[in-house]
Structure 1
Amino acid sequence: MQEIQQTMIEIYQKNISYFKLNHPDIFEKIQLFEKMNKETYHIDFIDNHFELIHNNAKTYNCDPFYDAQYRAKNIFNNENIFSLINTSSEILDYGDFDETITSSKYINEYINELKNKKDFEYDINKFIFIGTLLGIHLNDIDKIIQAKAYLIIEPNIEIFRLSLFLTDYEELSLNSKLFFCINFSDSQLKNSLNKFLSYKSIYNNFIRFELASKNELELISTISEFLTLENKIRYPFSEYIYGLKRGFYYLNYSTNGFINLYSKKEFLKDLPILFLAAGPSLDKYIEFIKKEQDRFIIVCAAAILKHLYSNDIKPDIIISIDAGKSTVKNQFDVEKEFYKDAIIIASIKTDTDIFKMIDNSNVFFIQTTLELVNKFGLLTGVTVGDIGIKILLSLGANNLYLIGLDAAINEDTGETHFSSYYYKKNIQKEEENSYKNHLVSVKGNFKDEVKTTLLYKDMIDSINSIDSKLIENSSIFNLSNGAYFNNTSKLKLIDINIQNFKIIDKEKTKKSFKNHLKTISKKGFSKLEESENKKEQKIIKKLSTIRDIEKDFLNIQNKYNNSFVIQIVNEYFLLTNPYNYYVKDKNIQEKQLKEIIEEFKTIYKS
C-alpha cells in the first residue's frame, strides 16, 4: 500500500509541475482550493481497487481501471457525437442579397458534394471529456482514439484535483493539444469551447464526447446549445464583406456619414424614450402608444413601421439593422410622407438600393460589423432589440421604456412576434440544434420563467452584458411580458402616472437631435485610415499568391492579424474547413477563396 501511495504522490507532483508550466490558470485554481483546507471527497482503496468517496458515500462505485478499459473498448459503439456540419440538406439563403458571394451558396457547394456520401468515417480528431471522475479512462481512451485535441471539462475542482493522483495529464498532452475547463462559470465554459473550436477548425465536423457520470448530464445540453450558437453560418464571413463594401460606399456618398459612438453626448437625456420592437406584447399596448405618443420620443425598429402606419403612430427615430434587400424594402413599404421627418439610424450593412429609396438627409450610419472609421465605436449584437438599446444609451438616453422587446415566445400561441407582423413564426414543436426553433427556459419579466429560442437567448445575453458605464445613471423600464433583462425594472401600464409626462415639441426636439448628430458624424477616411487601406491592398496581393492554403495563410495571418481582410478570410475558413475535410474535390476552397480575394480587390479600389 505504501508503494501505491508513493506512486500516486509522484503522479500528482508531475501533474502539478505540468499545470504550473502549461496551464497556470488551472494551477492557480488548484492552489487556491488547497489553501481552503476543505475535504468533501477523498480516494479510498477498497476491495483491491480505488473508489471516489463523497462524505463517506461511494460516488464512483466500480473499479476505475476496469471501467476505463470498458469505456475505451466501446468508444466507437456509442452515439455521443456533436455534429457541427450539415451534410443532408442545403443551407437556406442567409438573407436576400444581390451579391456574388453568399455564405449559403458556398456551403451548399460542399453539401452537394457530400449528399451522395452514405457513410462518413467519423474520424475522432477532437474529443470532449465531460467530467473526469478519477480520470483513468482519459488515458485509456486516448490510446484507442489518439485525437488531435481534447477539451477536459470538470465542474468540481476537488474531483479534478483528486484525478491528478491517478491520471498522467502530461502523457495525454504529448501527442494532443489539451484544453481545460475546470470549476467554471458560464462565460468561462463558453470561452473554453471557443478556444477549442478555434484550434484547427478543419476538425470541427463531428466531435465525440464521453460523459463521466449522470451528474454531468445537463452539461450535454449546455454544450450543444453553445455549439449551435457558435455555428459560423449564423453570422457568416459574408456579413463582414457586406459591411466592408457598403461601409465604404456610405462613408463616401451618404450625406451625414458615420456617428461617433465614443463621443460624450447627452442628446436624449431626461427625455422619455419609448422603444418599440416586434415582440408579441406590442399588441397589448398599441392603444396606449397611439393615445400617448406625444408624451414620448417614439423610437421603433424598422420592422414595425407598417404596424405603426396602420395605427397612425408616427415614429421620431427609426432603427434599421437588417441587411437583406427585400426584408428592409418590405419594412419601409409605407407612404414616404409617414416617415419623412423621422431620423433614421441604420447599420452600415444596409443595402445601397434601400438607401437610395429613403431621404438621404435624415440617415445616419453606425458601425455594426467592423470599425472602418477608427475610434468611432462598434456596436455588435443579435437583433435590432439589443443593438437598439445600445444605440439609445450611447446617444444619452437615460429614461427608456421598452415595449415589444419580449425576447420570448407567446406561450399561449407559440408566436414569436405581434399578431400582424409580416414574418412571424409559430413554434409548436421545438427543434434540437436549431438556432431559431430550439426552446429553452429563461427568467421572465413578470413570470418566474418564460420560453425562448436560442436566438432570443443570445439577444438576452447581449443586453445583459451591456457595459456598466453605458448603463449607469439610466432608468430602463421593461413593459414587455417576456424575458427579464439585467439592469431593468419591470413596469406595468397601470403603474405609469402618464399625467406627469409633458407634451413634447416633436419638431423642435428632432431638429435639435439631428443637428447634434451632425456634430459627431463624419464622412470620408482620414490620412491614417487611407494608409491602413493601402496596407490592406498589399495584404490582398499576398493572398493572391497563396499556394498552400493552410500553411501560407497561417504565415500571413500571424504577420497581419489586425487586418480586416485577414480576419474575414479566417471567418471563411472557420465556416468551410469542417466541410472541406470530407470532400474529394479540394479545389472548391481554392476557387471560393479566389472569388473572395477578387471581391476584396473591388472594394479597396473603390
Structure 2
Amino acid sequence: MKYKISKQTSDTEQSVYIYEDHEKKVPLNSLYSPEKEALRFINKLNNVEKKFVIFIGFGNGTLLDMLVEDGIFDRNVHFLFIEPFSEIKLSDKHFSLISKIEKLSYHNLNNFNSIVFAKFISKFTSIPVDIKIHPNYSKVNQSLIKDCLKIIHEGIETKQILNNTELKFAVDWIVEPLINIEHIPKSVNLKKLQGKFKGERAVLIASGPSLKTHIDFIKKGQDSFHLFAVGSALRALMENEIHPDYVLSVDASDRNYETHFEGIQYKGTLIYETMSNSNIQKHHQGTLVVSQALSDYVTSQIFNDLYSFPQMSPSVAIYTLQVIAYLGFSEVYLVGQDLALVNGEYYAKGIKHHDGMKGLKAELLVENNEGEKVGTTKALKIFLESFESIIKILPKELKIYNLSKQGAKIEGTTYISLNEVSPYSKRMISFNKDTLQLSSSTHSIINNFLDKFDKLRMEVGQASKSLNRMIQSGVVSPDDMIKVVKKFRNITKHEILEEVILSKLTFMFDTIINKFAYFEEKQKYTNDDLLQLVKELSTFYKLISTYIDDILNDERLSKYK
C-alpha cells in the first residue's frame, strides 16, 4: 500500500510525523500533546516489571523521553524500539540517549531481521518478553506492523535453530580446535595475504543448484578469475577437471570431511578456520592457510597473532566472502550461491550430500532475481540474512555480482547474466608461505588443556554437592543463597568455563546468568523461590560436568592423555 510520511507541529510546539494513504491520515503522536499521550500510555504499563519490553513504533521520540523519567524504566530489564517506517529518523538527541543507556536499543525495520532479534533473545534468555504497539501505530498500515511481528517470530525460530546447532556441535567445537593445534604450525597465517589481490576478480563457487549450469563458465574462466570454492563444491569441480585456486573450510563435523573431502586429490591452497574438521587439514596435500574462528578460545590461548574476522561465519560461503574481501579483490562473482530450493533442490546435481540434506521441503518464500517467489528453508533464510549483514560491513569498493537467476535475491549484490561478464586475464599472485611457529610440543599443549578441563570438573562437582544437600533438605536460607551466588560467580570466572566451554553453549549459560544477574540480595524471596533457583543452578552444573566428560572421553583425544 502506498503511503507518505510528512510532518506537522503539535499544539505544544513539537514536530509530529503524519502517516497518510488513500484512505486515512493519522498523526503518529498526538497533535494536542504528545507528552500527555505518552504518559497515559506509560501509566497503563504500571504492572510491567522485570521484562524485556518491545515497542513497535517510535514516532517523534516523546514516548522514549517520558519512559526514561518514569519508574517503569528502572523496574524492567531492557527496552527495544522497532520503527516500521524508514522515513522516520532518530534525532541527534535520541541517538545520543540510546547510545549512552545500555538498557535501550533501537532498530528500523529496514535493518531488523531474524538474526538481529535472535541476538536479543540470546542476551535476555529466560527474561519474559512484553510487546507493545506505540499509540496510533495500530491505526496505520498494518502490514508493516505484521512485518515486525513476523520478524520477531522468525527470530525466535532462528534462535532455536542456533541452539540446536550449539548442542549438536558443542563437543566438536572444542575437540577439533585442540587437534588443529597440530596443523596450525604447518599453516600460513591469513594475515600474510591481506590486500595481496587488490584490483583482481574472484569467483565464489558455492554448491547450490545453479552451479551445474555454470560449470562451462567456470572452466573457461580459470585463467580470468581466481576461483574460490566452498568445500561442498570441490568434488563436483574436480570431476569436471576444474581445479580451484582456493578451497575453504569451516565445518567441524567428520561428515564434512567424509562427504566433501575424503579421497579427493586436491593440491591447491586450503584456507580454513580453526574449527574446521582436523582430518581435512591432516590429509591436505597443498598449502594450508589459517584464520581463527571468532568463537574459538582454545586456539587463542596458544596463538595470539592469528587473524579472526569480526563477524561469525555461520556458513562456509560467508567465510569465503569475507576472505575474498580481506584479500583485496575488487570484484566477486557468486556462482551456486542460491540460498533457495531452486526446482526443489538444495544442492546442484552431482554434488555428494549426506542423508540430512535429502528430501528438504520449502518452509517459506523469498524473492529471487527474476522478481518471483522461490521456496527456501529456515536454515537457508538464516544464511541469506547473515550473508546480507556481512555485505553491509565489507569495503564499499568491492563489487558483488550474483549469477544465479532463480536463486534468492541477495541485498547488496547485483544480478547479471553470463554475457554481461567482461573478459579479463588474472595476475598470478605469490605470497610468503612461511608457516607459524610453536615453541612447545603440540602434545604437551593439548594435554595441559585437558588437565584444566579435569580441574574445572572437580570444582563444579564440589559446588554441585553443596547444592544437592540443600535440595535434599528442602531448605535454602537467604544467607545460603548469598553463598551460592558468590560461589557461582567465582566459578563463572574460571578461564576454561567462561571463555572456552560457555562460548559453545551460550543459550544454556545466558539462561542461568540472567536468573542470577537479577537476583537481589534481599529477604523478599520465599524458601520455594530460592529452592527453585538452587535446582536450576544444580541442573546447570550437571550440564557442565557432562559436557566436560564428553570432551575428556572423546576418542579423538585419547592419544594426548
Q: Which range, TM-score by smaller chain? A: 0.5 to 0.7
1:464 equivalent to 2:388? Answer yes
Which residue of structure 1 lines up, in the alignment, with residue 463 of structure 2? 546
Worse overlay, 278-287 or 445-454: 445-454
Tell me the equivalent position of 1:349: 275
- Could you report, residue by residue, the CA deviation over 1:449-494 in whole angstroms, capped at 9, with x for unpaired residues? 6554443343334333447785354343321222344554432111
2: CA distance, partners of 1:164 / 1:473: 40
Is the 1:237–1:572 contact (alpha carbons within 8 Å) kept by the matching residues of 2?
no
In structure 1, the partner of 2:314 is: 382
Evaluate the alpha carbon distance shift between residue 480 and residue 40 of structure 1 in structure 2; reply closer, same or farther with a 3 A threshold.
closer
Secondary structure of the residue that 1:252 maps to in structure 2?
coil
SS at match of 1:309: helix
- Normalised TM-score (structure 2): 0.65
Shift of 1:345: 1.6
Determine if the alignment matches structure 1 residue 265 to structure 2 residue 191: no
1:366 to 285, 291, 296: 291
Q: Is the alpha carbon distance of 1:265 and 1:353 closer, same or farther for their aligned partners in structure 2, counting shifts above 3 Å?
A: closer
- Show the counterpart of 1:245: 175
Residue 501 (structure 1) shift: 3.4
Secondary structure of residue in 2 paired with 1:471: coil
Q: Distance in 2 between matches of 1:149 and 1:428?
A: 36
Distance in structure 2 (CA, Å) of the matches to 1:468 and 1:526: 41
Q: Could you tell me which residue of structure 2 aligns to residue 157 of structure 1?
A: 59
- Report what 2:346 is aligned to: 416
Q: 1:395 is matched with which residue? A: 327
SS at 2:328 equivalent: coil
SS in 2 for 1:447: coil
- Return the match for 2:219 from 290, 298, 305: 290
In 1, distance between residues paired with 2:26 and 2:336? 53
Q: Select between 541-550 and 389-398 the one with higher mean Cα deviation.
A: 541-550
Partner of 1:13: none
How far, CA to CA, are the matches of 1:209 and 1:185 in structure 2? 16
Report the Cα offset of residue 303 of structure 1: 0.6
CA distance in 2, matches of 1:36, 1:535: 68
Percent identity over the alignment is: 19
Superposed CA offset, 1:545-596 (max 9, x none): 5346766334554797973445446543237899998998975433221133
**Cα-to-partner distance string for 1:283-316 (whole Å, 9 max, x where unaligned):** 2212222344344333211112232233222222
- Given that 2:185 and 2:438 are in contact with CA atoms closer than 8 Å, whether structure 1 keeps it comes out as no
Q: 1:196-243 CA distances to partner (integer Å, 9 max, x unpaired)?
A: 6523x3347xx5656674733332101111222233415426746534
2:15 to 38, 45, 51: 38
1:137-174 per-position Cα deviation (integer Å, ceiling 9, x unaligned):
7655764xx6531413132324x636978x89734356
1:233 to 141, 163, 166: 163
TM alignment of 1:130-141, pairs within 5 A: none
Deviation string 1:243-276 (CA, Å, 9 cap, x unpaired) is 443223223345523x544456343344442221
Aligned with 2:403 (options 460, 464, 479):
479
Residues of 2 paired with 1:426 and 1:288: CA distance?
29
Cα distance in 1, alignment partners of residues 328 and 121 from structure 2: 39
Distance 2:40 2:118 in 1: 23
Say which of 394, 416, 419 aligns to 1:491: 416
CA distance in 2, matches of 1:480, 1:461: 17
Q: From the superposition, tell whether residues 135 and 331 of structure 1 become closer, same or farther in structure 2 (CA, over 3 Å).
A: farther
Question: TM-score when scaled to structure 1?
Answer: 0.61
The number of residues matched between the two structures is 455
Alignment of 1:270-285 (within 5 A): 270-285=199-214
Of stretches 397-406 and 278-287 in structure 1, the one that deviates more from structure 2 is 397-406
**Counterpart pick for 1:185 among 95, 99, 108:** 108
In 2, are the aligned partners of 1:278 and 1:404 still within 8 Å (CA)?
Answer: yes
Farther off after superposition, 454-463 or 313-322: 454-463
SS at match of 1:283: helix
Aligned-partner Cα distance in 2 for 1:355–1:450:
37
One-letter identity of the residue aligned with 2:436: K
CA offsets, 1:107-149, max 9 Å, x none? xxxxxxxxxxxxxxxxxxxxxxxxx986757655764xx6531
Q: Secondary structure at the match of 1:286?
A: helix
Query: Residue in 1 aligned with 2:519?
Result: none
Matched, 1:572 2:508: yes
Given residue 552 of structure 1, which amino acid in structure 2 is its aligned partner?
K
- 3-state SS of 1:217 partner: helix
Q: Distance in 2 between the 1:392 and 1:352 partners?
A: 23
1:524 aligned to 2:434? Answer: no
Q: Assess, with a 3 A threshold, how the Cα gap between structure 1 residues 233 and 569 changes in structure 2: closer, same or farther.
A: closer
- Aligned mates of 1:135, 1:415 — CA distance in 2: 54
Between 546-555 and 214-223, report the one with greater CA deviation: 546-555
Mapped partners of 1:58, 1:595: distance in 2: 53
8 Å Cα contact 2:126/2:511 also seen in 1:
no
Unaligned runs of 5+ in 2: 1-9, 31-35, 84-106, 468-483, 516-530
Aligned-residue CA RMSD in angstroms? 4.8
For residue 316 of structure 1, what is the aligned residue in structure 2?
Answer: 245
In 2, Cα distance between the equivalents of 1:37 and 1:351?
60
**Matched AA of 2:62:** R
Unpaired runs of 5+ residues, structure 1, are 1-32, 43-53, 61-131, 431-438
2:541 corresponds to which of 569, 579, 590: 590
| 8 Å Cα contact 2:16-2:29 kept in structure 1 | no
Q: In the alignment, residue 314 of structure 1 is paired with which amino acid?
A: H
Give the direction of change, closer, same or farther, for the CA distance of 1:191–1:375 in structure 2 (3 Å limit): farther
In structure 1, C-alpha distance between the alignment counterparts of 2:550 and 2:372, rounded to whole Å: 50
Secondary structure class of the residue paired with 2:181: helix
Residue type of the alignment partner of 1:322: D
Q: Is the 8 A contact 1:325 1:354 kept in 2?
A: no
> What corresponds to 1:455 in structure 2?
379
Q: Pick closer, same or farther for the CA change 1:238–1:333 going to 2, 3 Å.
A: closer
Whole-angstrom distance in 2 between the partners of 1:254 and 1:56 = 62
Match of 1:198 in 2: 123
Given that 1:179 and 1:192 are in contact with CA atoms closer than 8 Å, whether structure 2 keeps it comes out as no
Asked if the contact 1:272/1:297 (under 8 Å) is kept, the reply is yes
8 Å contact kept, 1:477–1:488: yes
Name the aligned partner's letter for residue 384 of structure 1.
V
Separation in 2 of the partners of 1:405 and 1:156?
36
The separation in 1 between residues aligned to 2:213 and 2:319, in whole angstroms, is 23
Q: Residues 247 and 135 of structure 1: is their aligned pair in 2 closer, same or farther, counting only changes over 3 Å?
A: same
SS of equivalent to 1:273 = strand
Once the two structures are TM-superposed, the CA of residue 351 in structure 1 deviates from its matched residue by 2.8
**What are the Cα deviations for residues 92-118 of structure 1, in whole angstroms up to 9, with x where unaligned?**
xxxxxxxxxxxxxxxxxxxxxxxxxxx
Partner secondary structure for residue 179 of structure 1: strand
